Amino acid sequence: MKINEIKGILGDHVASGKPCLKMISCGEIMIAGLPYTFSMQNIGAESKGICVTISGDDVDSGRIRFTDLVFMKQKNGKSAPERYDFPLVTKKDGKKIYQARFDDLPLQEFDPEVATTKEEFLGVISTQLTFRVTPLFEGDDTPEVMLSVYPLGDPITGSATEWKKVTADEDYFLHKVKKGRGLFGRKRKK
């Protein structure tokens, strides 16, 4: 694959000289009591350390809580779960967020030359970082939280950030399909 093709897929941070995380897989919605998995890949320069945060008004008020953070660590080609504390911390502005820092976690530089075929490119993507949390929430609405993972080497422009809705409806996907909508909110064709 050529660098312009890779930039077309992943964005301009590829080979920019700065670390940059990109969400690779992230579920549509967080469901209370069920594990929520999200993965990211460094598409920029080498760096050391990342920080995982979940924030929002409903996190700050205590309405939405999260369990410990599970890091799916790669060991000998296999994924091994490791649990970490996911403390609720108070920022300088007084708001509370969940935050876990991994100061020594190395981020390898993304090398577009390694992948010359789509299969090799998918192999590079398999070096992604994967985490899991479980939201705790009760309510009939679907509030939003901000999930952000950033490299300590460039926290401002290198972050991977997604806004995610949270529901207490364990059968969310089943109910959504029954209402005549596909899983991504579009009406199904008749």
* Domain layout of the chain by residue ranges: 3-178
- Which parts of the chain register pLDDT below 50? 1, 3, 188, 190
In the chain, the DSSP E strands lie at: 21-26, 29-31, 36-42, 47-55, 65-66, 69-75, 78-84, 88-90, 96-107, 129-133, 135-136, 144-151, 160-167
Say which CATH topology domain 3-178 has: Immunoglobulin-like (2.60.40)
Q: Give every CB contact of residue 39 below 8 A, 6+ residues apart in sequence.
A: 23, 24, 25, 26, 128, 129, 130, 131
Q: What is the pLDDT of residue 169?
A: 87
Greatest Cα-to-Cα distance within the chain, rounded to the nearest angstrom:
53
Q: What is the DSSP letter of 14?
A: T
Determine the pLDDT at residue 22. 84
The pTM is what? 0.78
